[in-house]
């Protein structure tokens, strides 16, 4: 699941962000990808238990699950 370069980049962005969360729109703009593409990757990681998801109005926000942060940190080095 996380061998995909885009997913690794998304995890790195979430892990490195000050708030430890980001919305699909911001991630899409940062990576110059469509919101649909970002949503697809984020949904796969959410369904795989790596991320939490919260809808706030029209935006969907993701963060790394608390119990997965250490393993993600180890993975990203």
Summarised one tens digit per residue, pLDDT across range 27-55 is 999 999 999 999 999 999 999 999 999 99
Does residue 77 belong to any structural domain of this protein? no
Domain of residue 40: give its range: 5-65
What are the pLDDT digits (tens) for 64-76? Answer: 999 999 999 998 9
Does residue 15 belong to any structural domain of this protein? yes
Number of structural domains the chain divides into: 1
CB 41 within 8 Å of CB 10: yes
Does residue 43 belong to any structural domain of this protein? yes
Does residue 72 belong to any structural domain of this protein? no
CATH classification of the domain holding 34? 1.10.10.10
Residue 21 has pLDDT above 80, yes or no: yes
Compute the average pLDDT of residues 15-24: 95
Does residue 24 belong to any structural domain of this protein? yes
18 Cβ neighbours under 8 A, 6+ residues apart: none
Angle at 18 between CA 43 and CA 52, to 5 degrees: 25
Does residue 71 belong to any structural domain of this protein? no
Q: Is 34 left (phi over 0), alpha (psi -120 to 50) or beta?
A: beta
pTM for this model (two decimals): 0.92
């Amino acid at each position: 699941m996380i061998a995909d370069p885009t997913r690794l980049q998304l995890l790195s962005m979430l892990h490195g962000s000050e708030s430890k969360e980001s919305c699909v729109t911001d991630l899409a703009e940062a990576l110059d990808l469509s919101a649909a593409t970002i949503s697809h990757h984020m949904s796969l990681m959410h369904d795989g238990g790596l991320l939490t998801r919260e809808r706030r109005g029209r935006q969907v926000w993701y963060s790394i699950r608390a119990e997965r942060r250490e393993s993600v940190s180890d993975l990203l080095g």
